[in-house]
């Protein structure tokens, strides 16, 4: 079940612990072990700007890890993180849930991808949970650049929504945009692609 359906549902008490996955590759394992989970200093264009990205979908993380392994010529790696739902609920006023393909979702991604230096989302939110535009990112960016002076959000939204017949439509992402949010993580385990734990320890956060 998606976080958007759980966080307000009293059937899930505050003792509920959620598992999320971060996709990476073995190239970055030593950095994780040495430095812990950190917000990258190097700018990379992402939906919500700089931050630590997770998904509740292991299959999705596995696909991302495969892609990263191919790009770095190393092996796929997945970091499993346990986050108590109570920690997200406690700071709900500093969180944002955008789990529909609507204008709010689109405007948030535009801000995260194109204006993260001028108006970073981390100034307003500690965490964001929402859908992904996977498979449409290049089309989205091309249409945004072409029509930036006379932007039609309805048209851009049409070009940004993944096909319902593909798994990408159900992809999700949890963005932890501040170190306060990163400290929501209760525990971490490193997994290889088969889901087997690797006996390395990652600190949650090191200054």
Length of the chain: 207
Phi, psi of 8, rounded to the nearest 5 degrees: -100, 0
Domains of the chain: total: 1
CA–CA separation, 144 and 188 (whole Å): 37
Q: The domain spanning residue 104 has which CATH number?
A: 3.90.175
Flag whether 141 is in a domain. no
Token readout for 120 is 């970073």
Summarize pLDDT for 18-59 with one digit per residue, the tens.
999 999 999 998 888 888 898 987 777 889 999 999 999 999
Q: Please indicate, yes or no, if residue 152 is contained in any of the structural domains.
A: no
In-domain check, residue 31: yes
Tell me, yes or no, whether 93 lies in a domain: yes
Q: Is residue 149 part of a domain?
A: no
Residue 206: pLDDT over 60 = no
For residue 179, pLDDT over 70 is answered with yes
Give the pLDDT score at 207. Answer: 41
Check residue 193 and give its pLDDT. 62
Domain that holds residue 23: 3-131+171-198
Summarised one tens digit per residue, pLDDT across range 84-118 is 999 999 999 999 999 999 999 989 998 998 888 89
Q: Give mean pLDDT, residues 169-198.
A: 86
Rounded to whole angstroms, the Cα distance separating 179 from 186 reads 13
Scan for tokens 């009293």, then name that residue: 10
- For residue range 114-172, list pLDDT tens digits in order: 888 899 999 999 999 999 876 666 666 776 776 666 777 887 788 778 888 888 889 99
């Amino acid at each position: 079940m998606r976080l958007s359906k759980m966080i307000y549902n009293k059937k899930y008490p505050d003792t509920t612990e959620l598992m999320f996955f971060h996709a990476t590759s073995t190239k970055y394992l030593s950095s994780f072990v040495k430095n812990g989970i950190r917000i990258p200093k190097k700018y990379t264009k992402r939906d919500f700007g700089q931050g630590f990205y997770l998904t509740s979908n292991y299959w999705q993380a596995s696909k991302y890890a495969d892609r990263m392994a191919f790009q770095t010529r190393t092996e796929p790696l997945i970091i499993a993180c346990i986050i108590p739902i109570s920690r997200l609920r406690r700071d709900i006023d500093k969180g944002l849930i955008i789990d529909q393909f609507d204008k709010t979702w689109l405007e948030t991604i535009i801000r995260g991808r194109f204006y993260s230096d001028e108006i970073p989302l981390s100034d307003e939110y500690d965490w964001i949970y929402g859908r992904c535009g996977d498979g449409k990112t290049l089309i989205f960016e091309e249409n945004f650049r072409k029509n930036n002076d006379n932007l039609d959000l309805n048209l851009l939204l049409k070009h940004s929504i993944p096909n319902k017949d593909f798994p990408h439509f159900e992809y999700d992402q949890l963005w932890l945009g501040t170190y306060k949010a990163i400290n929501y993580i209760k525990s971490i385990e490193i997994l290889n692609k088969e889901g087997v734990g690797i006996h390395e320890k990652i600190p949650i956060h090191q200054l």
